[in-house]
Structure 1
Amino acid sequence: MGRILSIDYGRKRVGIAVTDPSQIIANRLTTVATHTIWDFLKEYFEKEQVEAVVVGYPKQMNNQASEAVRYINPFLKKFQQIYPEMKLEILDERFTSKIAFQTMIDGGLKKKKRQDKAMVDAVSATIILQSYLEQRRNLMK
């Protein structure tokens, strides 16, 4: 069984989280500059067995895609071209940044650390992945 990797794709940074090999727990992995994502993925896929990739897809309250998808859609298209055999899932990521920020507060992180946008992006990717795992578990019930 391979890992599941999640991506919180942004114009400047990409938050990345990954499951354990048993796909039970979502863990924050890292944040990379957006322009380096392809190098990161190539290197990571060479080192680790990844079964699926989950990408956060932001929607507005009316369920329409947000303006950020104009950056995400080209990424998704290129990903499918480069990795056609990889299972690619998209997940509504509405509110993940706010939830990530609140999670950091609840976890006792100091204000300076909470202002670290790279940390927020990585925590958001973890929340996206955890949501995906929970949805998948609920479907199996």
Structure 2
Amino acid sequence: MIASLDHLVLTVADIEASIGFYSTVLGMERVSFAGGRTALAFGQQKINLHLKGHEFEPKAKVPQPGSADLCFVAAVPLTAVQARLAAHAIAIEAGPVARTGAVGPIMSVYVRDPDDNLIEISSYALESD
């Protein structure tokens, strides 16, 4: 019945800090839509950003910054991801470590975004490239 994920929503404490991390560090594109709302686009998906206390309806029952655990598949080798994280002084919390992705084995590194959401960045290559 379900074919793919279109978008997800992150409740954040500071929209500009989130945009800075996801666009500058992870290479996502800031987009604006419907009434000045803000999102981050990548591939054929997007992340809509809701400011804590100013969420759009309908919303999650208990929207909270820092409650997400997300995994993104990198478009570049994991070594390039690690280098980019280092260049932006983003600490790797764990990894590279072998995990299981949606369609097979992945290698992953874990970091935190400005709200302390856990962000897993993965590659389907069996090594850290």
Query: What's the TM-score, normalizing by structure 2?
Result: 0.28
In proportion to residue count, which structure has more helix?
1
Query: What's the TM-score, normalizing by structure 1?
Result: 0.27
